[in-house]
Amino acid sequence: MSVLKLTPTHHRDTYPSISPTKPSLTQAGKTILITGGGGGIGFEIARSFAKASASRVIIVGRRAGFLDEAIGKLRNEFQSEGTEFMAHQADIASDTSIVSLWEFLHSQGILVHVLVLNAAHVKPIALDTLSIAKKELMEAFDINVGGNFLMSANFVKQALRPAGLQLVLLNVSTGAIHTPAPRVSTYSMTKAAFTGLLGRIANDRPVEDVQIISFHPGVLYSEGASKDFDKDAFSWDEFALPADFSVWAASPEAAWLHGRFVWAHWDVDELKADPEVLRRLEEEKGYLQVGVQGLTAATIQPMFDVKKN
């Protein structure tokens, strides 16, 4: 079975099992923070969490006007639903901006229960990777790895967090971390690096502390995609698929995928019912995590074993 289609069903749109109105997926009483939430996938994720009865949804982005417009749309659509919407201008490329964001939330007595890391730096775009300037390369790593790491650290270490309260961290990754991605090698590598880092963090922290899941959202006709591709160029996925999948991934139903990278396309019921998937998750620590293709598991334990004559 191909890793690109780990379940018999390959979804292109939302479906009942991940519907945000499904009672078992409710986000009632929770505050959700979404980076890059002013448009595209981030905006649709905000809509889905509102449908799941989240108490508060905070969208974060660089462009104040863009955020204001998005907040207006959300408040208008869900004005009778009881969800509070907030927008905060911040840039994950700036450590100062990230720290300021979390200091502001603390000053307002706001505890974030679910963090959705959606913002990303796609540039530089180049056919020849070696033509990229080192400064451009390191900027991509600093934002997609460093910025998202700092967001994650501040999230988990919130001073307002009661002892024993579980948090949820979702990473909107990309299928480009393990499939050919012409012209965007730095994007794919930096996304792979951060997805791999979250897998290591998940190894350190149990799901009861913070549930961590990374996922490929699909092929979406976003604002960025529209600049390079015609709408008829591909069979695009619907935004509702990754948006509703995010709500499912933030629920207890997804706890068994803690630390893993999955595709939003895969049917969650078929995935959980597959004995081979369950066996490999149990036996292979690196299954559905970033690693070396061809290796089921690796250990450095032999280095520490006492040599026997």
Q: H helices within the chain, ranges in order?
A: 40-51, 64-77, 95-107, 134-141, 148-156, 185-204, 223-228, 240-249, 268-273, 275-283
Residue-wise pLDDT for 69-101, tens only, equals 999 999 999 998 899 999 999 999 999 999 999
What kind of fold does domain 17-303 have according to CATH?
Answer: Rossmann fold (3.40.50)
What is the average pLDDT value for the chain, to the nearest integer? 92
308 has pLDDT over 60:
no
Quick one: which of 193, 190, 104, 111 has its CA closest to 156? Answer: 111
Question: What amino acid occupies position 281?
Answer: L
**Cα 235 to Cα 291: distance, rounded to the nearest angstrom:** 29
**Cα 114 to Cα 30: distance, rounded to the nearest angstrom:** 7
Paired tokens of 17: 């099992």
Residue-wise pLDDT for 21-34, tens only, equals 999 999 999 999 99
Catalytic residue among 17, 187, 188, 214: 187
Q: Is 36 left (phi over 0), alpha (psi -120 to 50) or beta?
A: left
173 is catalytic: yes
Quick one: which of 221, 220, 216 has its CA closest to 266? Answer: 216
What's the pLDDT score for residue 299? 66
187 is catalytic: yes
Backbone angles phi, psi at 88, to 5 degrees: -140, 125
Name residue, tokens 């951060």: 194
Contacts 24+ apart (CB under 8 A), 29-32: 29/55, 30/54, 30/55, 30/56, 30/113, 30/114, 31/55, 31/56, 31/57, 31/58, 31/110, 31/111, 31/112, 31/113, 31/114, 32/56, 32/57, 32/58, 32/112, 32/113, 32/114, 32/116, 32/250
86: number of CA atoms within 13 Å, CB side? 19
What's the pLDDT score for residue 239? 95
Catalytic residue among 152, 185, 191, 251: 191
Question: What amino acid occupies position 50?
Answer: A
For the chain, domain boundaries: 17-303
Residue-wise pLDDT for 209-259, tens only, equals 999 999 999 988 666 656 666 677 677 899 999 999 999 999 999 999 999
CB within 8 Å of 120: residues ≥ 6 apart: 36, 143, 144, 172, 187, 191
Catalytic residue among 17, 48, 152, 173: 173
5 is catalytic: no
